[in-house]
Amino acid sequence: MRTFSEALGAYLTDQLSGLSEKPVVTYGIPGVAAGKNAVSLYLSTMTEDVALRSYERNYERVAGAWVSSPLPLRLKCGYVVTAWPDSQNPSEADLVRQDLLSAAYGVLVGMSTVPSAYLPAPLKQEDLQKPVVALAEYKAIEDPQYWASFGCVFQPAFFLHATVSLPVAQQSFDHVVDGLDITYKNGLVI
Looking at residue 149, which CATH number applies to its domain? 3.30.2000
Residue 57 in any domain: the answer is no
- 189 pLDDT band, cuts 50/70/90, is low
Residue 92 in any domain: the answer is yes
Domain that holds residue 122: 2-48+73-164
Higher pLDDT, 66 or 4: 4
Q: Taking residues 91-103, what's their average pLDDT?
A: 91
Q: Taking residues 15-26, what's their average pLDDT?
A: 92
At 121 the pLDDT is 81
Q: Taking residues 104-121, what's their average pLDDT?
A: 90
The mean predicted confidence, pLDDT, of the chain is 82
Residue 68 in any domain: the answer is no
Angle CA 54–55–61, to nearest 5: 120
Higher pLDDT, 88 or 135: 135
Indicate whether 54 pLDDT > 70.
Answer: no
Indicate whether 176 pLDDT > 60.
Answer: no
Q: What total number of domains does the chain contain?
A: 1
Residue 62 phi, psi dihedral angles, 5° rounding = -130, 115
Residue 175 in any domain: the answer is no
Hey, CA dihedral for 30, 116, 105, 167, is it positive or negative? negative
Contact 162, 4 (CB under 8 A): yes
Residue 154 in any domain: the answer is yes
CB burial readout 10-44, b (16+ within 10 A) else e: bbbeebbeeeebebbbbeeebbebeeebbbbbbbb
Indicate whether 171 pLDDT > 70.
Answer: no
Residue 172 in any domain: the answer is no
Indicate whether 151 pLDDT > 80.
Answer: yes
50: left (phi over 0), alpha (psi -120 to 50) or beta: alpha
Indicate whether 186 pLDDT > 70.
Answer: no
Of the candidate ranges 79-83, 131-135, 169-173, the one whose mean pLDDT is the lowest = 169-173
% of the chain at pLDDT higher than 70: 82
- 102 pLDDT band, cuts 50/70/90, is very high
At 52 the pLDDT is 62
At 3 the pLDDT is 87
Task: With CA atoms as reference, report the closest residue to 87 among 22, 174, 139, 136.
Answer: 22
At 150 the pLDDT is 84
Coil, strand or helix at 29: coil
Q: Residues for the chain: how many in total?
A: 190
Residue 38 in any domain: the answer is yes
Residue 174 in any domain: the answer is no
